[in-house]
Amino acid sequence: MTLNFSSNQLENPQPLRLHWVSVAFFGIIHGLALLSPWFFSWGAVGVTVLLHWLFGSIGVCLGYHRLLSHRSFKVPKFLEYAIAILGALSIQGGPIFWVAGHRLHHAYTEDEEKDPYSARKGFWWSHMLWIFYPRSDFFDYDCYQRFAPDLARDPFYVWLNRYFLLLQIPVALLLYALGGWSFVIYGVFLRSVILWHTTWLINSVTHMWGYRTFESDDNSRNLWWAAILTYGEGWHNNHHAYPHVARCGWRWWEIDITWWMIKLLTIVGLAKNVNLPPSGYL
- Secondary structure class of 272 (helix, strand, coil): strand
User: Looking at the predicted structure, is the pLDDT value of residue 73 above 80?
Assistant: yes
- Secondary structure class of 121 (helix, strand, coil): helix
Cα separation, 164 vs 95, whole angstroms: 9
DSSP letters spanning 147-167 = G-HHHHT-HHHHHHHHHGGGG
198 CB contacts (<8 Å, ≥6 apart)? Answer: 52, 56, 229, 230
User: Looking at the predicted structure, is the pLDDT value of residue 3 above 60?
Assistant: no
Question: Quick one: angle between helices 191-204 and 42-51, nearest 10?
Answer: 40
At residue 211, what are phi and psi to the nearest 5 degrees?
A: -105, 160
279 pLDDT band, cuts 50/70/90, is confident
pTM of the full structure: 0.94
User: Looking at the predicted structure, is the pLDDT value of residue 8 above 60?
Assistant: no
Mean pLDDT of the chain: 94
Question: Using alpha carbons only, what angle is made at residue 135 by residues 235 and 113, rounded to the nearest 5 degrees?
Answer: 60
pLDDT of residue 13: 64
Q: What is the mean pLDDT of residues 160-185?
A: 98
DSSP secondary-structure letter at 92? S
138 pLDDT band, cuts 50/70/90, is very high
pLDDT of residue 15: 77
pLDDT of residue 191: 98
User: Looking at the predicted structure, is the pLDDT value of residue 6 above 80?
Assistant: no
User: Looking at the predicted structure, is the pLDDT value of residue 266 above 90?
Assistant: yes
Q: What is the mean pLDDT of residues 84-94?
A: 98
98 CB contacts (<8 Å, ≥6 apart)? Answer: 60, 64, 68, 69, 87, 92
Alpha-helix runs per DSSP H in 118-270: 123-124, 130-132, 136-139, 141-144, 149-152, 155-163, 168-184, 191-204, 224-229, 236-241, 257-267
76 CB contacts (<8 Å, ≥6 apart)? Answer: 270
Cα separation, 95 vs 112, whole angstroms: 24
pLDDT of residue 11: 56
- Taking the CB of residue 32, how many other CB atoms lie within 10 A of it? 16
Cα separation, 275 vs 238, whole angstroms: 14
pLDDT-wise least confident of 31-35, 154-158, 216-220 = 216-220
